[in-house]
Every structure is written in structure tokens, then in C-alpha cells.
Structure 1
């Protein structure tokens, strides 16, 4: 364990921020600056492409990929973030697994509220399938809002009659727009990044008046996960969103889904971003890579050409 590392990161994330709600432009610039401080691993190739009529980053291991594809959804509260800000995480998964990844630049709120993001991620998955790629060689992965999209995109794919991916990896997923988890209050102040007020501020932009009491917005409390692929959820104890993960895991287990709920003590939201800085981040990513390697089998992993 790395008590000193965790303490340094907690202090870094608690640095003073401007009072009051920040504008969309300020949120986007601040998150971009934060993620620019994270480590992108060496030995990967990154190119721009298009997937499902949205731009995307194609991330490959430098020494040639194994048969398998990670479809990655970035975090940012559905309001900020991009495939570029998520590259430290996408790159780490590619470097550790040897699989190829596509990171989708889905539309953001408030310009494009719910369900625009899910439409884009579902179209990206459909585009992979349309190349002839075997779903048994595809995994969804994502962090924060993107972690939520791994689940809601799977729900949307099932509703559309599409075959489901082989696995899901969700880092600190946001899974409850009703904000009813006990950790929303019990972890207030312990969480160095989020407050209830902050997540409700960005959440309102994504909802744009939509009722949060529906599975595509609050799967942790409303979704039927019957038939879902094996699911790995990683979360830290210092998160107001902790109960999003614990409740989704319980819903999955109740209907016979293989679920691994991987909880790390005294770490913040999406702590995996601190790979190379925090021992627990590297260990968690190793566990995620092992899970993906066990779940994706060699198959017709057709490549997707840039368009």
C-alpha cells in the first residue's frame, strides 16, 4: 500500500478552486489541464479515425496488436472530456493488454443533452459490428460518465437486438442520475474531487429536463441487467459515487451476471488515471488487463479503416 502517495494525490485534488459553479468553458479547460498532467505510456500508436460518424482515436500497441478490441468511452460528466483527455487510461489498457482500442468523441451536453451520448456510443459499437468484427472480441471500457456509458450502451444495444460485447470494464462509473446513493452524503468532504452540488450542476446539463428515473439514466437503481456480459467495476472508497458501483454490482449478481466489484481504499474518483504515480492505480490497471485478457477470445477481429 502507498499511504504517502495517496495522501499527496488527495492534497493535489483539494487545491483551491474558484467559488461557485463554473462555466462550461471553464470546466472543459480545467479538466483538459488536469488530464495533461497524467502519464501516457510509451510504445503505443495513436491515430485519428472515424467510428459511427464520430471522430475517434485509434490506439494500438507499438509491437502489433493481439486479436481483441476495446471500445473506450471517456469521462467528464457528459459535459467535458475527450478521447485525448482519456488517453492516459486508454493507452494504459492497450499497453497492458496488447489489444487495439477505439476511443469515441461522443457529443457533449449542454449542446447535446441526453440521449445524444448513448446514440453516439451505440453507433460506434454498431460500426465495429458492421465490419464483421465478432462481438466476442469486443469489450466496452470507460471512466466516470464513460463508465456509465459502458452500461447504458450495453442496455441500448440489447434493446436494439444487437449482440452484446464480451466484457465491460467500468472505472468509477456514474450510474445514478437520481443521486440517491447514501455515499452522496456520507462521502461528502471525504471525496477530494466532487460534491453533490457539483455533480448536480453538470448532471442538469445532461438531463436537460429529462426524468432521471429511467434505466438509461440511472441503471444502478432501475436497469434490468439480465444477459449482460461479465462486468468489472473498479471504484475507490473516497467517492461520493461509490454506491453507484455497489448497487449496480448487486443488481447484476441478482440476475446471474458475473460481476467483480473491485473496491480500493482511500483513493479518489478514477484513481487509475494516476498510473505511474500511485501504486494502487497500476495494480488496478493490471487487474483490469487480466480481466480483459481472460474475457476476449481470438476471433474475427477485423480492423476499422479511417473514413
Structure 2
């Protein structure tokens, strides 16, 4: 995290995102929002994209050239549980595949408002069960995700633990949304610095996802509220977040709680960076650096169970 911050480059990234958000109104159809989001991020790179169904859930194998196929990263995209797709995150997943040296399985989990909590979590668990049925050992899998998808990755670990099922080897998150109640102090301290995500917007997204029955302090929706025994048993975690994010506290507090419980969580706060800056691979050197670090972390954890093998 030693790269100097190129403020004009960051501001250009912010302008791109605000140009999309700025077109949305209360009556903008969700289908239009999703199409806009895919267009903003829907770049592709060198590698393969192979759609399939796993556990009844649409997915895709995203494979960088020359990577291993005997282990995998299961990826949950962000988008507030309302937008985002395998297309919007295709380039990011491909870069993560290259950095970790293994395939990435992108999960196209069901979105709100058509499908509210716990539909996304149910899909995540169904996909992992299907992978196990195909012969993947739990320790040959790792989880990753950004924003809402980062929170979903952590909730999935907690759900697996509650079901007494084996846990993946590790998890890597970017700007994870761990507190749907939005209680962190960064919603105040970073409100002027964050160009997009203010507390009322975040709370509205939470209501949209939870519906009338979900609770914002349910650990399977907001992993921050898991009890210490659950947090202590989690696999190693790498949690990245930008310093210009109102959801900064979501990462910092979650990592603090895991470590206080006796678990292993590393929180990286990237100076000058905004929400899921890792998606802007071509504009920000920090994005490339951060994603490279995340990939190497996951590779190192997966290699612990295949010590004789090497990964890029």
C-alpha cells in the first residue's frame, strides 16, 4: 500500500460511478439499474467464461490462462443485493483468478426486490454443497466477494459453521458490508469523503434486501453481530477497504471482533481509495496491487493443503 494516490485518477473513477447513479430516480426500473451497472463495469479480459448451473443456481467458471483446476475461489459480486452480475464483475474475477493461480466460480445469486433475504444466502450454500458433491474438499475452496458480496461470503461461512459443515480454507473481501444497521462511526467521519454511499442510502438498500421479516442484526445478514465463538472458528480472512468509505467501520469492526475472539483477520485500509476501488483495474495502480495481494493471500491459504504444488 505504498503507491502514491493519484487524486485526478480517483476523481475520474468517482465521476464515472456518479454518472450512473445520477441517472437513477425513484421510478427507475431495477432492470435499467442492472443494465447500467453491467455497462459501467462489464469489461472482459484474456481468459475463459463458462456458464453452468450448480445447485440450481446460475454460475460461471472464470479461468485465467494457465491456472490450476483442482482448487477454486467462489466469488460473490457486490451491488447492494439489488444490482451487479457475473458480467459486471467478470474482469475483476478474471484478475483474481490470475493472481491466485486457480479458477474462480462466480455465483449469480438471486437479487432483491424479487428475492429477499435469505435467498442470496440459500443460493451460496447450494453452490458450495454442489461443489462438494463434485468432489471438491472444503479446504480446496476459498470465498471472496465485494461490498454486499463480501458480507455474503462472511455470512456463508457463519451459516456453514452453524450447520456443522466444513469451512473453506480462507476468505478475501473488498469493502465488505457487514452491518446492515449502518451503526459504524465511519458513516459520520467519512460522510464528506465518500462520494456515493451515505447512511440513508445504505439503510434503504438494507430494507430492500431484508424485507418485512429480516432483521439487520441477524448475523446471517450482518456478520458483524456473530458471537465470539462463531468468529473464533472462522478461517483466515483478508479484508480490504478504502479510507474514503462510509463502510470503513464495517471492515475495521469486524476484523477487531474476529481477532478479539481469537480468530485471524487482517484489515487493510487503503489511503485515498473509494468503495470497491479494486474494480478500476485500468485506472488505479492500487486496484491492481490490492487484487494481487488478495489473490496471493488466497493462494497461500490454499497451498497450505497442497504444500507440494506451486501457484503463480
- TM-score, normalised to structure 2, is 0.90
SS at match of 1:148: helix
Q: Corresponding residue for 1:303?
A: none
Q: Corresponding residue for 1:217?
A: 221
1:7, CA displacement in angstroms?
Answer: 3.1
SS at match of 1:245: helix
Q: Corresponding residue for 1:154?
A: 157
SS at match of 1:125: helix
Q: Corresponding residue for 1:305?
A: none
SS at match of 1:133: coil
Aligned with residue 44 of structure 2, among 40, 46, 50: 40
Q: Does 1:255 align with 2:261?
A: yes
Residues 77 and 144, structure 1, Cα contact 8 Å, conserved in 2: yes
Sort the Cα spacing of 1:122 and 1:161 in 2 relative to 1 into closer, same or farther, 3 A. same
Structure 2 gap ranges (5+): 307-312
1:64, CA displacement in angstroms?
Answer: 4.5
SS at match of 1:48: strand
CA distance in 2, matches of 1:211, 1:285: 32
CA distance in 2, matches of 1:200, 1:23: 19
Aligned with residue 88 of structure 2, among 85, 89, 93: 85
Q: Corresponding residue for 1:100?
A: 103
Spell out the pairing of 1:258-297 with structure 2 (5 A cutoff): 258-297=264-303
1:66, CA displacement in angstroms?
Answer: 5.4
1:165, CA displacement in angstroms?
Answer: 0.3
1:262, CA displacement in angstroms?
Answer: 0.8
SS at match of 2:68: coil
1:193, CA displacement in angstroms?
Answer: 2.2
Spell out the pairing of 1:106-117 with structure 2 (5 A cutoff): 106-117=109-120
1:203, CA displacement in angstroms?
Answer: 1.7
Q: Corresponding residue for 1:75?
A: 78
Sort the Cα spacing of 1:140 and 1:64 in 2 relative to 1 into closer, same or farther, 3 A. closer
Aligned with residue 49 of structure 1, among 49, 52, 76: 52
Task: Provide the aligned C-alpha RMSD in A.
Answer: 1.7
Q: Alignment length, in residue pairs?
A: 296
1:27, CA displacement in angstroms?
Answer: 2.4
Of 188-197 and 140-149, deviating more is 188-197
Q: Does 1:208 align with 2:231?
A: no
CA distance in 2, matches of 1:136, 1:248: 23
Sort the Cα spacing of 1:46 and 1:192 in 2 relative to 1 into closer, same or farther, 3 A. same
- TM-score, normalised to structure 1, is 0.91
1:20, CA displacement in angstroms?
Answer: 4.7
Q: Does 1:17 align with 2:22?
A: yes
SS at match of 1:269: coil
